[in-house]
Structure 1
Amino acid sequence: MLDFIRHNARWLLGAFLLTLFSGFGQTFFISLFSEDIRSSYDLSDGQFGLLYMGATLCSAVMFLNVGFVADRFPIAAVSTVVLAALALACGTMAVSSSVWLLGVCLFCLRLFGQGMMLHVSQTAVGRWFDAERGRALSLTSMGLNLGESTLPTLVGVATLWVSWRYCWAAAAMFALLSIPFCFWLTRIPREPTVSTSKKPQAAIGKHWTRSEVIRDKLFWFACPGMFAPAFIITAVYFNHQHLVGIKGWPEGSFGPGFMVVSVTMVLSKLYAGSLIDRYGAIGLMWIYHLPLGLACLLLALGQSVVFVYLSMTLIGIGMGFASSMTGTVWPELYGTKHLGSILSLVVSGIVFSSACGSGLTGVLLDAGIGFESQLAFLAAFSLLSAVMMFVVSGRMRQRLLSTVENSPAE
């Protein structure tokens, strides 16, 4: 592992930083200011949830039409533009005073933070690495874990002394200062080492285009399971302050929980990366639904604050596997030539699912449906998703094995 990191430090660090700065557009970061935002703009839970959902849905639609740039332009150029746009969104968030401008800021944060920043990082790693793609994605995706483990604490301390808007100004400054360094790290592409493992590779057959993927039935059967984690995590993160209130837990109970998520995600990503490099990602697609479902069940039924840390541990395990799968399943199944366009389709679905996680839960809360009941439903849905993904992964693996057997010998 250390030799791998040392020999590929430039590319790993570049993708790691892009993933780290995506945190400014993630729900875990934005939700830290949810009470301040609702108070400043006089919004209810449902109103803010719908605004957040609308901004995220619009960003998903836009992302679907701009994700291809990662295929057509150098990674360094794309990352520079995305970082600059993210910095502008953070800066505008610091000075916004109207609801419509808040909506624009949320749209840009979701598009350039949650969407494009992760997309560029995953596309770059998926193209730069082959034999050790799982390990590379596991390492670079830890940038988001670093953000999840440090940003809530930093924001909590900062807001004791300054207004929440200064936190967004600081985020804008850090994003701008990172642009030259990220450009230098990513300006030279890496030539991938061809895999010699036993796992089947789509590249042995052909590299699918996005239009071909859209016509593939297996893709659509896999989508609900692949998109479910985004819905669940957004629902929990976005409403964690509400959950603390109805459970009667101490304020800030979820703060250490984010640290727990980060630690367990790092460990599970390392383990998932080694499994993916050895056996492939497709056969593991169903596993992460089980800990996510159990986490929702514990949050729904548990009354002690201990259940926060138990559930966040399970969320970390599930998300560690899920995040490792997102960038590895599709290159295995469809190849890497059109990976940017394919990933833009996938990430748009993930962003859409994330939007529904915030919007629908807020509407249901305003309608009188308790969040504990919603969590119980999500637990049942996760179990159903695990069963469905087990069946789908088996079909995908059969197709890839057939492709390998029918490919001409070189």
Structure 2
Amino acid sequence: MTYFKFLRENARWLSASYLLAMFSGFGQTFFISLSAGDLRAEFALSHGDLGLLYMLATLGSALTLPYVGKSVDHFPVRTIAAVVMTTLALFCFAMASTFSVWMIALSYYGLRLCGQGMMTHTAVTAAGRWFSARRGRALSIALLGLPTAEALFPLCFVTLAGILGWRGAWTVAALVLLLAALPVLMVLLARDRVPSATEIASIKAEGRQWTRNETLRDSRFWLVSCGINAPAFIGTAIFFHQVYLVNLRGWSLEVFASAFLGMAAGVVCTSLVVGPLIDRFSARRLLPFTLIPLSLACLVLAQYHAPLSAFIFMGLIGISNGFNSTLVSSFWPEVYGTRHMGAIRASAFSVMVFASAAGPGLVGWLIDIGVPFDMQVRAMGLYCLIFCAVLALVARAYRERETILKPE
């Protein structure tokens, strides 16, 4: 099947997954952090204070996600999508009307759980289950929704905030979800996708179907998680403190917001290349290479302070995110099967959310005690290089295990 024929025959479901990933942007750090400066000024919070609030709220969403995430295994995607998108809109309204510190924490919690957590989780779980034989391609297309949001949402927020104020921008986000995104999504998901005979055969060929408890007892799961969640930790930490970064460098927030276009372009190009490569070579074989672009991004940000470095850094972050998100979304069902993927992926997402929660809080605390920002970024890059080697060893262990279990 050609790429364009695949797109044409499955446009309905690919579009639904794409929209879920795109509108998860309202719960992603790159969007939430745009109002961080206004929140600190209005409620007299330091970088560390707001980072701690964000960390605690995100940790709360990570603890909740394994319980609500397994609902994707038991309810239609259409039902899950409707509930999650409506709830996300309500938390956008909550952020727009926040009046106290505890209200900020509650809004952060809901935005992270519904946006970053359940919207993305539903998008990738549904796409991975619908398209077993062409999983890499399907996920690479679905996950293009996130770079679309990264390209459009920051500039839209900055523009709307200049006209309506930051509260008005959050109100518009809620209305877009309820009046535009939700009706379109309900039309697209009115009919569920039935896998073809070839795809059903592919699912059967995947072998052992791991349960969530079995997966969590597998040491390889945790080693892989420590590596593949580095982008969540590093990206979230830097994006959340982007106002501090641009002030430190002497850049403008508009310049940094425009650099998200380079990041989006990196995600799009890489996703479209990596998806077919996964279908051809497998996610396991590509696993050791996923952190190389991120290590280069950290090097650029730490060593070069000219405004151009913002665009180079964001482009490399985009390549890293496109590589990592597409690979990881294919990797879990590839090594653990699809039968219990909703529960397994919810746990994997929860670990990722823990990583993204730790980043803003830790970096904010280090900023407050005077640790140089460049030193922090260099340490992040070194961690990525170390885990390139670790992931290579783990990928080999997965392949050896598959060889042992394969019937002769």
Instruction: Sort the TM-score into its range (normalised by shorter chain).
Output: over 0.9
- CA change 1:151–1:9 in 2 (3 A) is same
Question: Which of 204, 226, 229 is 2:228 aligned to?
Answer: 226
Amino acid at match of 2:271: K
| Cα distance between partner residues in 2 of 1:204 and 1:131 | 10
Q: Note if contact 1:129-1:191 (Cα within 8 Å) is conserved in structure 2.
A: no
> Counterpart of 1:406?
407
Deviation at 1:398, TM superposition (A): 2.1
Q: Note if contact 2:161-2:167 (Cα within 8 Å) is conserved in structure 1.
A: no
Question: Which of 33, 36, 56 is 2:38 aligned to?
Answer: 36
- Please give the residue correspondences for 1:260-299 in structure 2 after superposition, counting only pairs within 5 Å: 260-299=262-301
| Cα distance between partner residues in 2 of 1:247 and 1:170 | 31
Does residue 1:115 correspond to 2:126, yes or no?
no
Amino acid at match of 2:184: F
| Secondary structure at the counterpart of residue 229 of structure 2 | helix
Q: After superposing the two structures, state which structure 1 stretch, 281-290 or 348-357, moved more.
A: 281-290
> Counterpart of 2:383?
381
Q: TM-score, normalised by structure 1?
A: 0.95
Residue by residue over 1:200-228, the C-alpha shift from the partner in whole angstroms, topping out at 9 and shown as x without a partner, is: 98854221110110111211221100211
- CA change 1:332–1:358 in 2 (3 A) is same
Residue by residue over 1:244-291, the C-alpha shift from the partner in whole angstroms, topping out at 9 and shown as x without a partner, is: 222223442312210000011100000000100111111111212111
Identical counterparts, % of pairs: 41
Return the structure number with greater helix share: 2
Amino acid at match of 1:397: R
- Please give the residue correspondences for 1:227-246 in structure 2 after superposition, counting only pairs within 5 Å: 227-246=229-248
| Cα distance between partner residues in 2 of 1:104 and 1:194 | 46
Deviation at 1:242, TM superposition (A): 1.2
| Cα distance between partner residues in 2 of 1:393 and 1:37 | 43
Question: Which of 163, 183, 202 is 1:180 aligned to?
Answer: 183
| Cα distance between partner residues in 2 of 1:370 and 1:13 | 43
Deviation at 1:358, TM superposition (A): 0.8
- Please give the residue correspondences for 1:135-154 in structure 2 after superposition, counting only pairs within 5 Å: 135-154=137-156
Question: Which of 79, 93, 96 is 1:94 aligned to?
Answer: 96
| Cα distance between partner residues in 2 of 1:289 and 1:241 | 25
Q: Note if contact 1:203-1:332 (Cα within 8 Å) is conserved in structure 2.
A: no
| Cα distance between partner residues in 2 of 1:253 and 1:163 | 19
> Counterpart of 1:249?
251
Amino acid at match of 2:195: P
- CA change 1:204–1:5 in 2 (3 A) is closer
Q: Note if contact 1:76-1:186 (Cα within 8 Å) is conserved in structure 2.
A: yes
Residue by residue over 1:80-136, the C-alpha shift from the partner in whole angstroms, topping out at 9 and shown as x without a partner, is: 100111010001111111111111110000000000000011110011001111111
Q: Note if contact 2:21-2:120 (Cα within 8 Å) is conserved in structure 1.
A: yes
Deviation at 1:348, TM superposition (A): 0.3
Q: Note if contact 1:202-1:335 (Cα within 8 Å) is conserved in structure 2.
A: no
| Secondary structure at the counterpart of residue 336 of structure 1 | coil
Q: Note if contact 1:202-1:334 (Cα within 8 Å) is conserved in structure 2.
A: no
Q: Note if contact 2:203-2:338 (Cα within 8 Å) is conserved in structure 1.
A: no
| Cα distance between partner residues in 2 of 1:194 and 1:242 | 54
Q: Note if contact 1:202-1:400 (Cα within 8 Å) is conserved in structure 2.
A: no
| Cα distance between partner residues in 1 of 2:145 and 2:107 | 23
Q: Note if contact 2:228-2:290 (Cα within 8 Å) is conserved in structure 1.
A: no
Q: Note if contact 1:231-1:356 (Cα within 8 Å) is conserved in structure 2.
A: yes
> Counterpart of 2:195?
192
> Counterpart of 2:374?
372
> Counterpart of 2:49?
47
Residue by residue over 1:169-209, the C-alpha shift from the partner in whole angstroms, topping out at 9 and shown as x without a partner, is: 1111111122232123224222334669xxx9885422111
> Counterpart of 1:306?
308
Amino acid at match of 1:98: S
Gaps of 5+ in 2: none
Q: Note if contact 1:95-1:165 (Cα within 8 Å) is conserved in structure 2.
A: yes
Q: TM-score, normalised by structure 2?
A: 0.96
| Cα distance between partner residues in 1 of 2:105 and 2:90 | 14
Deviation at 1:315, TM superposition (A): 0.9
Q: Note if contact 2:206-2:334 (Cα within 8 Å) is conserved in structure 1.
A: no
Q: Note if contact 1:23-1:114 (Cα within 8 Å) is conserved in structure 2.
A: yes
Q: After superposing the two structures, state which structure 1 stretch, 244-253 or 341-350, moved more.
A: 244-253
- CA change 1:251–1:126 in 2 (3 A) is closer
Amino acid at match of 2:241: N
Amino acid at match of 1:260: G
| Cα distance between partner residues in 2 of 1:71 and 1:383 | 36
| Cα distance between partner residues in 1 of 2:398 and 2:105 | 40
| Secondary structure at the counterpart of residue 254 of structure 2 | coil
| Secondary structure at the counterpart of residue 206 of structure 1 | coil
> Counterpart of 1:13?
15
Amino acid at match of 2:357: A
Amino acid at match of 1:393: A
Amino acid at match of 2:359: G
| Cα distance between partner residues in 2 of 1:303 and 1:126 | 40
Q: Note if contact 1:201-1:333 (Cα within 8 Å) is conserved in structure 2.
A: no
